[in-house]
Structure 1
C-alpha cells in the first residue's frame, strides 16, 4: 500500500530515469486488512484481464481531508497520482469538471443500480461516477416494546409521535426514568441536513433546491415539517439531541434508552452485537411520511469515479467496471460490510444468507433522495451549512418554521447569486 504523496515522487523519479510507467494504474484502497484483501482480489482480476499493473493508494481517513487532497491534485491536472477513487455522494457536483465522462461507457449497466444513486452522479446530463455502495437514513425501533404495547410500526410522523409518547410514558412509569421516545442527529452539521431533508420532503415540502437548481424551500409544508421536529425536543426527544451525531444517538438507543432512532444502516449490525442491550429486539423500516406525503430517506454512500486527467482512460474504465460488478460488490459486502448499489443483489439468495438484514433495506434504498449537492456544485458546502443552521435554530427554539424557511430562501438566493457554479 502506498501513500499518495510518496507515490507521486516515485512516479516523477521513474520518469526522470527513463523507466516505463505507462502500464500502471493507481486505485484508492482502504488500509484495513479487509480492504487490502478486497483490493488484492480486484488486482488479480484486473491484471489478468488487461495486462496492466495495478497499484494501491492510501488516502487520509477523514472525508474532508480526502476532498481537499483531490482538489489540490485536480487543480494541478495531475494525471499520475491516482486513476480510480471513491467520491462521497456530495462531491460529484464539486469535482464534476475534473471527472472522466462515463456516459457512453456505462450506459449498458445503468438499469442495474438504484435509480436515485445513479442519478446523483449525473451532472448536466453526463454520468460522472458509478455507485460503489449505499447508505440511507432508516427508522430503527424496538420490536419487543411495540409488541408489549400492542402497537404497529408507524406509517406517518403523527403515528410515530403518538406511539413514542405513549411508550415513553409507560416505560418511565415502570421505572425506566431515562427512557425516550425518539433520538436522531440534531447537532448543527451535515447529518442535520440529512434529517431536515427527510422531514421536509416527506411532507411534500420539496428538497430545498430542485433538480433544475431552483430554490423551493419557502413553502408551508416545509415550515410545518421543521415545527414538527422542534415539537419533539424535550418531549419525546432529549434536549441533548441538539448535540448528537450518529454515534451519540446510537449509544442511547443501543443502551436500551429509546423507542425509535433515525440512523444509517451501519447501526443495525452493531445493535445485534453480543454486547448490545437490545440484541434481537431491533426492527428497521423506511422513515415515516407526512399525512399526504411519502417516505423519504437521505441518500448517502460512495461512488467510483475516474480522474479526468488519467493517461489510461480505457483501462481505468475497465477497472471501474470490475469494481462495480456483482462479484466485486458481493466481496465488498462480505469483507467490509458495504451495502451493494446493485438492486438485484437484494434478492440474491447468497447475499441474503450472508446478510439477511439487507432484505429490510431494499425498500429504504429505493426511496432514497439525494441532497441538493450535484446541482449546486462547488457551492454545496455553503448550501448545506445554511440548511443545517436554519434547522438547528428552529429545533433550539430560536426561530419558527415559517420564519426559518423564508430566511433560508433568501440566504440560498444570495449563495446562488448568478447561478450554481
Structure 2
C-alpha cells in the first residue's frame, strides 16, 4: 500500500541518518567489538524525495558510521519476503529494518530482531497506541517511527447543499450513501476491498469498531465468532449487497479508491491521510469541496487500524549500538517534524499534532490525532502473513458472492483456527 511504501522509505533513510549521529565521532574506527561502525538500513523503494538529502548530510558529518540505504521493491509482500530471506539465513547484511507495524510480532517471535531498550526512548511523548505496535509478549522489539490511521473523506459541498452533517455512525453513513449519493450521480461509500492487505485493514476496522476482535492472545486464540464481530462484518457484507457500497469497490486498492473520490464519483471514501493533499491538488475535481472526519462506528466514532512502520535491529547486526543510536535519532522531535513537514508522513510525536504552524499546513492533523488515539494494531500474530491472506480470501469471496454473515464467520473461524493451531 502507498502509505506503507512511503513510510518504509522514510524510515529507512532516517535510520541511516541516526546511525552516524549518536555513536560515532568522525575519527572512530569503522567497526569492531564496541558495536559501532557503518550500518545498512533496509526498506521498501524510496518514493519520497527528502530522505536522500538527509542521509547525504548525515554521512558527510559522520564518516566513521555511515549508513548505506538498501531499497527493496515497492510491493510490501516482496519487501517482507526479501527481509525474511536474509534474516532466516543469519545474515548481518541489514542492520536496521524498516518494517510494517504488522510484522513486528512475526519477526520477534522468530528471533530475527532484538529487544530494544525502552529506557532510552521518549515513549511517553509518542501517541500512546503506536507503542503497542512495537511490542511482543510484553517486550519492546521495535520503535514506532511513522504512524497512520484511516479517515472518512466526504463531499462537503454535496452535504452542505443537502443540509447534512458528515456521518458519525454507520446508520447515518448508510442512509446518506443510499439517499443523497444517487441524487447527485455518485456512488455511496468505498474503501479498499480488493483481496490484498488493504482488505484486511478494512475488515479489522469494521470488526473492532463494533467492539469485536478477530484474534486474541498474540494470535493464539480466534475470537471472530462473536456478536460484535458479526455486526462489524455485516456492515461490509450488507453494504455491498444493498448497493451503497458499489461492486466496483471490490477492485479498489488505495489509489483506485482515491481516484474515484478525486474524480468526483464517490460521496464517501475510507482512505489514509496521504490522500488529503492529492484530493486537494490542482488536478482534482473535488479540490476545496471535501472534508475528513474520523471513521464512524455503530454508535459513534469507530476505530481505525494503526498503519505505519517501526524500526527494528537485526539480531545478527555487528553494530547494534550504532543501530540503536540511529533509531533514537530518527524518533527525536526535530526529525519527526521533518518526517511530517518534508515527507508528509504522520509522525509519532503527539505534540506535533497540535503545533499551530503544522496544523495550518496540514489541516487534517487534529482529525488524524483523534483517529490514531482510538486506533488499534492490526492482527498481532507470529503468522501474520498467513492470517491476513486467510482474511482476504474469505472476505472477498463473501463480498463477491453475497455470502451470509453466519457462513462468513464459520469459514473465517475454521481457517484461522487451522493457522493458529500450527506449531
Quickly name the TM-score band, shorter chain normalised: 0.7 to 0.9
Q: Alignment RMSD, CA only?
A: 2.3
**5 Å matches for 1:48-127?**
52-79=65-92, 81-96=93-108, 97-106=111-120, 108-127=121-140
2:244 pairs, out of 236, 239, 260, with 236
Q: Distance in 2 between matches of 1:133 and 1:32?
A: 14
Q: Any residues of structure 2 matched to 1:38-49 within 5 Å, and which? A: 38-43=54-59, 47=62
**Closer/same/farther in 2, CA of residues 394 and 37 from structure 1, 3 Å limit:** same
Return the index of the structure with the highest Cα Rg.
1
1:222–1:401 Cα contact (<8 Å) kept: no
Residue in structure 2 matched with residue 331 of structure 1 by the alignment: 338
CA contact (8 A) 2:146 2:346 kept: yes
Which residue pairs with 2:264 in the alignment? 256
CA deviation map 1:131-167 (0-9, x unaligned)? 1111221110011111111111111100100112221
CA distance in 1, matches of 2:316, 2:295: 41
Secondary structure of residue in 1 paired with 2:192? coil
State how 1:297-308 maps to structure 2 within 5 Å.
297-308=304-315
Taking the aligned partners of 2:309 and 2:191, their CA distance within structure 1 comes to 22
Q: What is the total number of aligned residue pairs between the two structures?
A: 387
Which SS does the other structure have where 2:163 is aligned? coil
User: Which structure 2 residues correspond to residues 154-233 of structure 1 after superposition, within 5 A?
Assistant: 154-171=167-184, 176=185, 179-209=186-216, 211=218, 213-233=220-240
Q: Does 1:27 align with 2:41?
A: yes
Contact 2:59–2:65 (Cα < 8 Å) also in 1: no
Question: Following the alignment from structure 1 to structure 2, what is the Cα–Cα distance between the partners of residues 273 and 55?
Answer: 34
Tell me how far apart the structure 1 counterparts of residues 282 and 366 of structure 2 sit (CA, whole Å).
22
The residue number in structure 1 matching 2:371 is 364
Give me the whole-angstrom Cα distance separating, in 2, the residues matched to 1:383 and 1:348: 39
Question: What is the deviation of 1:267?
Answer: 0.8
Q: Any idea what SS the aligned residue of 1:279 has?
A: coil
Counterpart pick for 1:395 among 395, 399, 413: 399
Q: Per the alignment, do residues 237 and 31 of structure 1 end up closer, same or farther by CA in structure 2, a change over 3 Å counting? A: closer
- Equivalence for 1:247: 255
The answer (yes or no) to whether the contact 1:209–1:217 under 8 Å persists in 2 is no
- CA shift, 1:211, in A, is 4.7
Distance between the aligned counterparts of 1:380 and 1:33, measured in 2? 31
Which moves more between the two structures, 334-343 or 317-326?
A: 334-343
**Superposition deviation, residue 300 in structure 1:** 1.0
| CA shift for structure 1 position 257 | 1.2
Structure 1 stretches of 4+ with a deviation exceeding 6 A read none
Partner of 2:390: 386
Distance 1:271 1:383, change over 3 A: same
Mapping 1:334-345, distance limit 5 Å = 334-345=341-352
Q: Per-residue deviation at 1:225?
A: 2.4
Change (3 A) 1:157 1:129: same
Shift of 1:111: 1.2
Change (3 A) 1:139 1:42: farther
Question: For each residue in 1:92-112, what CA deviation from the matched residue of structure 2 results, as whole angstroms up to 9, or x when unmatched?
Answer: 122111112103454x41212
Is residue 313 from structure 1 mapped to residue 315 from structure 2 by the alignment?
Answer: no
Which structure 2 residues correspond to residues 131-146 of structure 1 after superposition, within 5 A? 131-146=144-159
Task: Please tell me whether residue 36 in structure 1 is matched to residue 52 in structure 2.
Answer: yes
